[in-house]
A and B are shown apart, each in its own frame.
Chain A
Amino acid sequence: MQVELTLGQQYLPITDEAEVIFLLRLLRDSQKQSADLALDLRKILDRSGSMDEPADGGLTRIQALKAAVNESLSLLRQGKDRLCIVVFDDSMKVILDPTVVGDVNAIKKLIDGIRTGNSTNLSNPLRYALEDVKPMDGSLPKIIIFTDGNVNAPSASSEERDCLELARQANRLGIPFAVFGTGTNYNEKFLKNMAEVAGHGSYFEHVKQVGAMRLRLEDEMENLKSVQDLDVKVGITAEPAVEILEAFKYVPQQLALSVSGKIVKDEFPGLDVRGQAYLIKTKVRAGKAVGDFKIATIALSWQGVAGAGAKSMNVVVNFTADEKLISPVDKTVRNTVLNTEGTKATLSGQYDRAQTLFTTSGNTGMAKKVETLAKSGEDAKRTLRTVTVTEANNGIIGKKGAK
């Protein structure tokens, strides 16, 4: 693992209080091979009545979804990766038991046979994917959920409560979710919340065109295959005179991390081709100190192919009276702050502010997306929210413009 620390400013003027912002980036080691673990994908697909509605390319949603899932099967490695498919309406049906991929055509036939049904109960298939599917040794598990409607059977409130409890269970088991929603009838906040509760790199994405699920699934598999170091744990501990104001991570999406006292912690199953990045904003009571001033300690641990690894780093700035030594603000850190703020503005519907922030950071592509999509309907706004949290800070991670 390569570790890169970038300070907003290395040299600051002598002061009572300062703001110190730093960016921590973890990247795969280009000299090392991937862990090459088997994928263990558990797909939970919506087949409720609304999946009969028209989608893109003259297909219904269910037809487009089946085509996308079938096309993405070619990326699974025969004799190595495991796949399980469950469909749900108000009841669940196991289409494919957990199976190490062999005859892809046989799997395609099973997928082609999926028919739409009634209302939406997600908790039962989720429970099946978590509790009934036995763990597979030496694999990277992932539960992939696709839906177009509100969970509502037997009732929305009980179903949402059950799903969130299962997300907590997934968190305890370390099995991440990839949650996809299409249309405008599903509860975006609930699905996003479910992904956040499941943690370990779980995410939610709105999918405007169901056919685009093929790319989403392919990206997911490519990312998992590229995982190098496993079970990565990150701890950032502030010094007594330092307060952590905000902390964000950016892979798979921008996410505000909770700060517990003076500590920020994060963990994720594996470092893939995108790497990982953290932005930490602190307030430092420097009390007119001069010279080196320690801000925080960063502790990293992981499981590599060759064994366990660990690293500790100090975050140190320097307060100086020499004006000539004062550093300019690091361009990457400044742009990350602006893009992060632009994303927050987008999520809260402050589109003019988001545009200004993205433009100021030089992220004209994202500014244009905000300008275009914010004027359109709810479907476009959901797309915008997904695009922003996923891509606004692609410049600081290993893989640019993944989608």
Chain B
Amino acid sequence: MAGEIKCNNCGLDNKPGAILCEACNEPLEVTVGASVPTVASSSAAHTPASAVGIIGRACGLVVGGNVVDREFELPKDDFGFTIGRTDLDQGIIPDVDLTKFAEKVKIGQDVGYTVSRKQAIIIRRMGRLYLRAIGAKTMIKPQNTDWKELLKDQEEEILVGSRFRFGGSEGYVIFEVV
């Protein structure tokens, strides 16, 4: 059956989700990933479970409407990180360099990026993740809603399924929280 986990010690096929073998209680060899808790704050007492979202593991690049196999990890601690375009001349080295994801386009007579050097920050606060715009043309699309532009210093919580877009009408990049 799909997803069964064979015990290396006794050979039993264990149910999906098992961590210890049902027969011999030995640890099973499973693929382990970073911890992804769902968080609910007491400040919203009586919050229904449906309102509690899932914090993502990473941001996957979206190409042609689909998430492709290129991503950057979301912060796992409370120190936010910066997203932008590296410019060594100006000493700007963001934690996530958008030039690895965006493509250069023709801008007037020149060819360059439309993403900003200082585009946005992702902050982890009280177990939740927020996207804060620090440069122009930062847009967000929470799951099941439409795109909206974030003004400078405006924040929006990001959950699994949230998408955000950086850059102008051409040469922009879209990520989805996965």
Contact = CB atoms under 8 A, between A and B. Distances in A.
Interface residues of B, number: 36
Interface in A4-18: 4-10, 12-18
B18 A15 contact: no
Interface of A: 1-10, 12-21, 23, 25, 29-31, 229, 283-284, 297, 304, 309-314, 316, 323, 326-334, 337-338, 341, 357, 360
Contacts of B42: 1-3, 29, 229, 304, 309, 311
Interface of B: 1-3, 14-20, 25, 27, 30-43, 45-50, 52, 54, 126-127
Contacts of B48: 312
A330 B16 contact: no
A284 B3 CA distance: 14
Contacts, number: 128
A221 B167 CA distance: 55
Contact of B17 (A2, A21, A312, A357): A21
Contacts of A309: 42, 45
B33 A2 contact: no
A357 B26 CA distance: 8
B24 to A, nearest CB: 11
Nearest to B49: A314
A13 B50 contact: no
B37 A4 contact: yes
Contact of A6 (B3, B31, B37, B126): B37
Contacts of A229: 42
Nearest to A338: B27
- Determine the main DSSP class of B at the interface with A: loop
A237 B137 CA distance: 47
Contacts of B49: 297, 312-314, 316
A282 to B, nearest CB: 9
A19 B18 contact: yes
B137 to A, nearest CB: 31
Contact of B34 (A10, A314, A331, A337): A331
Contact of A14 (B2, B18, B37): B2
Nearest to B39: A4
A360 B27 contact: yes
A5 B47 contact: no
Contact of A328 (B31, B37, B45): B31
Nearest to B69: A324
A312 B44 CA distance: 11
18 contacts: A2-B39, A3-B41, A4-B39, A5-B37, A9-B16, A10-B54, A15-B1, A19-B19, A23-B37, A29-B41, A311-B40, A312-B48, A327-B36, A331-B34, A332-B35, A332-B37, A334-B32, A341-B25
A319 to B, nearest CB: 9
B30 A334 contact: yes
Contacts of A310: 45-46
Given A15-B2, A16-B1, A8 B36 contact: no
A4 B127 contact: yes
Nearest to A27: B127
5 smallest A-B Cβ distances: which pairs? A328-B33, A13-B3, A314-B49, A332-B35, A19-B17
Given A313-B49, A314-B49, A337 B36 contact: no
